[in-house]
Structure 1
Amino acid sequence: MSETRLKLMEAIARKQTVEARYNGDLIKLAPHMLFERHGDLFVSALNMSKTWRSDDERRLGQFKLAGLGSTELLDESFDPLPSYQPTVPRSDDALILAI
């Protein structure tokens, strides 16, 4: 099991934020769900590094685990988005772990 996958699973289980490199940028994520799509792992997470105009606008993004690097579990908890439902984005996705 990859180190990134283990750290994200722990972050989801404990509702803790992670910091990771994605497309060359350092971002902070609040991971809500880990799922598999066509053999690839993805995490649905709130990108806390993104500037949102309002709390109502905030939504989960999908990040491919293969693109996440230098993932670190932070000592910072988060509350799941109020609108969050633990359902996979597509009907053929497989849920692995969710808040």
Structure 2
Amino acid sequence: MTNNQLLLEAIALKKCVTLVYNNVPMKLAPHVLYSKHSAVFTDAVILEKHGVARRDKKLGAFHLSGLNDLQLTDQPFEIDAAFEPTAEKYAGVTLFMVSTDAG
């Protein structure tokens, strides 16, 4: 499974992923997959860095070419309040986004 496919599944199921980004092991909650300057990015909440839970959870942008050892976990996530699905940066370039439907 490619990184794109794995992230699509994680976003659709609202499941966390583990990976290595810039030689740093992380656990992320991916919220959106989008293109920018002919490259693919995901915006995700960093839940853990180096195996340590983050107290200051925030949304970060991650270039897919920098993601290594990507794996889907069984850990679900809630949509973060910092995520703005209608943000201008996603207009016309969103490939897939977490569903904000309550159902």
Q: TM-score range by the shorter chain?
A: 0.7 to 0.9
The answer on 1:52 being equivalent to 2:55 is yes
1:70 deviates by: 0.8
Unpaired segments ≥5 residues, structure 1: none
C-alpha distance after superposition, 1:29-60 (max 9, x if no partner): 0000000001100000000015224xxxx321
Q: Tell me the residue number matched to 2:14.
A: 15
Figure out how many residues of one structure are paired with residues of the other and give that number: 94
* Counterpart position of 2:33: 34
Greater Cα shift, 20-29 or 85-94 = 85-94
TM-score (norm 2): 0.81
The TM-score with structure 1 as length reference comes to 0.84
Match for residue 73 of structure 1?
72
Matches of 1:37 and 1:98 in 2, distance apart? 15
Per the alignment, residue 95 of structure 2 pairs with 96
What is the CA RMSD across the aligned residues, in angstroms? 1.9
Secondary structure at 2:32 match in 1: strand
What's 1:5 paired with? 4
Residue ranges of structure 2 left out of the alignment (5+ in a row): 99-103
Deviation at 1:86, TM superposition (A): 1.2
